[in-house]
Amino acid sequence: MNLQVYVEPIIAFVQEHRDWAMPIVFALAFGESLAFFSLLLPSTVILVAISGLLGAGGIDFVPVWFCAGIGGALGYWLSYVFGYHYKDQIQGLWPFKDRPEMLPRGQRFFEKYGILGVFLGHFFGPIRAVIPVVAGMYSMKQVPFQIANITSSFLWAAGVLAPGTLGVRFLTG
């Protein structure tokens, strides 16, 4: 899959239309954290590239970071809700029916790490799409889930956006 077909137009659009940076970053972070959809969308690559645009100037870091954190938390939460409500049907849905090892791997990870697994799930691409679904399937309590979700969403957003932003500012400033 040639990611540049998707990445370059989005980067060019943000570069030309800086006012759209926040909603685009929100949508990318949301999609990256949303079960199933995150497997199709190369959001992290695009977010890293956008972070370089933040560093090049003209776009404030904090509002964009906030949008990425909110988008990531909302995508994860909706994935949890999906797992909670459709726990019995999930094994028959794509990608789990085509890759049946995904759910057991997510279950083992969740059983081993619990709330820490929800927190860590944001940082590991292959399990990012599975952990909140499994947390919902196991009916994890909302408060611990949301604490781990929101905290890790904002740390993940900073981890994706800050290096490019600071790196470009360091190199150009």
Backbone angles phi, psi at 52, to 5 degrees: -65, -35
Q: Per residue in 63-96, pLDDT tens?
A: 999 999 999 999 999 999 999 999 889 888 877 7
pLDDT of residue 27: 94
Confidence label for 6 from pLDDT (cuts 50, 70 and 90): low
Cβ-proximal residues to 34 (8 Å cutoff; 6+ apart), any chain: 75, 76, 78, 79, 129
Least confident segment among 7-21, 28-42, 103-117 = 7-21
d(CA 153, CA 42): 17
pLDDT tens for 90-144 read 888 877 788 888 778 878 887 888 899 899 888 887 778 788 998 999 899 999 9
More confident residue, 9 or 73: 73
List Cα–Cα distances, 19 to 11, 24, 58, in angstroms.
13, 10, 10
pLDDT level of residue 169 (50, 70, 90 thresholds):
low
Say if residue 171's pLDDT is above 80.
no
What are the distances in angstroms from CA 44 to CA 3, 90, 99?
A: 11, 25, 22
Distance CA 134, CA 93 (A): 14
Q: How high is the pLDDT of residue 4?
A: 64
User: Sorting pLDDT into bands at 50, 70 and 90, what band is 3?
Assistant: low
As a whole number of angstroms, the distance between CA 28 and CA 1 comes to 18
Q: Are 134 and 86 in contact (CB under 8 A)?
A: no
Q: According to the model, what pLDDT value does residue 1 have?
A: 54
Percentage above 70 pLDDT, the chain: 88
Q: Which amino acid is at 16?
A: E
pLDDT of residue 88: 87
The yes-or-no verdict on residue 147 having pLDDT over 90 is: yes
